[in-house]
Amino acid sequence: MNEALSEYILMKRPEVKRSLQKQARGMTDEQQAQFLAAMQLGDTEFQAELAPYMPEESAIDPSKAALIPLPLEDRERGYGLKGISRKGTNRPLRMDTPGGGEIEIPGNRVSVLGAINANPQVWSHEYRHQEDSDAFNETNNRILDVFASRTKKDFKEAVGSLADAALYEARQKADASGDEEKTESHKNTEEAYYKSNSKDPTIDDLDLALDNLLFNDPYIKEQFESIKNLISFGKIKQPGIGPQYERFISRKKERKQEKERKQEIKDEGYEGAGYLPIDFKEGGRSKLI
């Protein structure tokens, strides 16, 4: 077998290795060279898709990637866990799935569970764990997902995942304190969670949810500040910044003005008018009944 092809195949997981060896069997030297070139092109395209979501100068080693097929009964709805990055062991990890099946997660690999989850956002999240560029913990990595969001779907998934982490912390804190009444920040975090995890939230809903998380939720606010400090002091590489987060930041001042405007109207007793255009009220406010 072509030496370069043989080296390439050796880096793959056992089941992939066997499949590639079987396909290469009987090929001429020229066919093997073409076969290798096609796979390397696929690797390059894979890296190019993930690069915008990753910090600068990330390795994104395609030989580490493992797409784990889910049992038939779990394929359409997926699995609550979307991916796992494992390193420091070659020992496989066996896991049960909600549908009653079982999957095997390889060691020293970046694994995505099921084709339904095989998208750049999930892959890049797990690669950041693998390459130690996750800003040191899971919640920070979820904030990096928000930073890197390129599509509305990316943004929804990232904000919803971050809200999930925030609500878990808020509930843990409430249980530990023994307080039955929820704090204002807890209520805001719940609102952010339900908005971002609704079926089809608007961009405005997602922006407001993220506003609540980054600037009002005590836990997420602290993590957000720690990431900014890590970047400022060069402790972590500059993260990937996507168009959705850039849009969110550019509209921050506008959202703040709108929030203040509605609060002012509410304070004056004209809450119903708060949802009318600002120009309408400037011409003369009328209380709606």
pLDDT digits (tens, 9 = 90+) for 244-268: 999 999 998 888 787 778 778 877 7
Residue 18 binned pLDDT confidence (cut-offs 50, 70, 90): confident
Mean pLDDT of 171-185: 92
- Percent of the chain at pLDDT above 70? 93
CA atoms of 52 and 48, how far apart (whole Å): 8
Residue 289 binned pLDDT confidence (cut-offs 50, 70, 90): very low
Which residues, 6 or more positions from 143, have their beta carbon under 8 angstroms from its beta carbon? 135, 162, 220, 223, 224, 227
- Residue with more model confidence, 115 or 279: 115
- Report the range of poorest mean pLDDT among 1-10, 124-133, 193-202: 1-10
CA atoms of 259 and 204, how far apart (whole Å): 12
Does the pLDDT value for residue 184 go beyond 90?
A: yes
Residue 275 binned pLDDT confidence (cut-offs 50, 70, 90): low
Does the pLDDT value for residue 285 go beyond 60?
A: no
Per-chain mean pLDDT for the chain:
89
Which residues, 6 or more positions from 287, have their beta carbon under 8 angstroms from its beta carbon? 269, 270, 272, 273
DSSP 3-state assignment of 207?
A: helix
Residue 143 structure tokens: 């904030």
Dihedral-angle region of residue 60 (phi above 0 means left; psi in -120 to 50 means alpha; beta otherwise): left
- Report the range of poorest mean pLDDT among 73-77, 149-153, 158-162, 221-225: 73-77
CA atoms of 124 and 114, how far apart (whole Å): 15
Residue 187 structure tokens: 């209520």
Q: What is the pLDDT of residue 271?
A: 58
In contact, 142 and 136? CB cutoff 8 Å: no
Q: What is the pLDDT of residue 277?
A: 53
Pairing of strands 83-86, 109-113: antiparallel
Mean pLDDT of 197-214: 96
**pLDDT tens-digit series, residues 32-41:** 888 788 888 8
Report pTM.
0.83
Measured on CA atoms in the order 136, 139, 143, 144, is the torsion positive or negative?
positive
